[in-house]
Amino acid sequence: MTDAANLTRKTITVGSGAFAREIAIIHRSASKKKPGPAFVWLGGYRSDMTGTKAAELDALAGELGLAAIRFDYSGHGISGGAFRDGTISRWLEEAIAVLDDIKPKRVILVGSSMGGWIALRLVQELKRRKKAAKVDGIVLIAPAPDFTAELIEPNLTEAERQSLAERGYLEEQSEYSPEPNIYTRALIEDGRSNLVMTGIIETGGPVHILQGMKDPDVPYAHALKLVEFLPADDVVLTLIRDGDHRLSRPQDIEKLRAAVSALIFND
């Protein structure tokens, strides 16, 4: 269904048989005759495509006459599939399938938290393909690449390790929801095969990182470490002294809009 704002809502099936799941997409088509890159929103762990930052990115695309692509990972928002089945590989597969379905020629990837990890893996996968969207640039918001290995595993308590071994998952109280965060053994094991901070990360375009210095979930030291693996590209790191993990305040949104717009007008 398409509304007056050039938005199309659809679902696609990713995977087959027991692995099939319906992925929900909101696609804003470009209104300019000569469209630039499409914005692609890659959300965080347990977030969805209707959140403040995702909606603001879509609104910016509308103002600029550009396309925007949002979707919910399986187990998130209104997409199908079980959250506990989720892994980086599974959610990456869905991101690729969404781009394969819509077929943008050029994209700017905007990844929030875990979405930053997905964005960096997506760049790697697109580079391996002969016919794939060209990545013009990337904006990362409180990026959490390799978070399972870098931020979860080193800090596990003995009780949590036992829970992973015996139950296959662990629970952690969430500051953003009454429901606890659930990290599965499959997510952690799969994370080890998707690590990106193991050598130089070649994105092929400019990268702008927005990071709060009062982020309780992803310490800003993690963003500083990530920059060390991006020496080949034009990288800007904006540290927001009083910023939290969400970076959804009006002043944070303005920084996001400016970062994305700079990639457009630098084109």
- Establish how many alpha carbons lie within 13 A of residue 241's alpha carbon, considering only the half-sphere containing its beta carbon: 0
Distance CA 116, CA 247 (A): 14
Q: Is the pLDDT of residue 40 over 80?
A: yes
Residue 4's pLDDT is what? Answer: 54
pLDDT of residue 2: 41
Q: Residue 136 and residue 31: Cα distance in Å, rounded?
A: 19
Task: Answer whether 138's CB lies under 8 Å from 205's CB.
Answer: yes
Burial class (CB in 10 A: 0-12, 13-18, 19+), 6: middle
Tell how strand 106-112 and strand 38-42 pair up: parallel
Number of helical (H) and strand (E) elements in the chain, helices listed first: 8, 10
Dist CA 30 CA 35 (whole Å)? 6
Place of tokens 């139950």: 167
- What does the pLDDT read at residue 192? 97
Strand blocks (E) in 148-257: 169-172, 181-184, 207-212, 235-240
pLDDT confidence of residue 180: 87
- Looking at every residue in the chain, the average pLDDT score rounds to 94
Q: What is the mean pLDDT of residues 60-77?
A: 97
Number of residues that make up the chain: 267
Q: Which domains does the chain possess?
A: 7-265 (3.40.50.1820)
In the predicted structure, residue 63 carries a pLDDT above the cut 80 = yes
Residue 63: CA count within 13 A, CB half-sphere = 10
The pLDDT tens digits for 134-186 are: 999 999 999 999 999 999 999 999 999 999 999 999 998 877 778 888 999 99
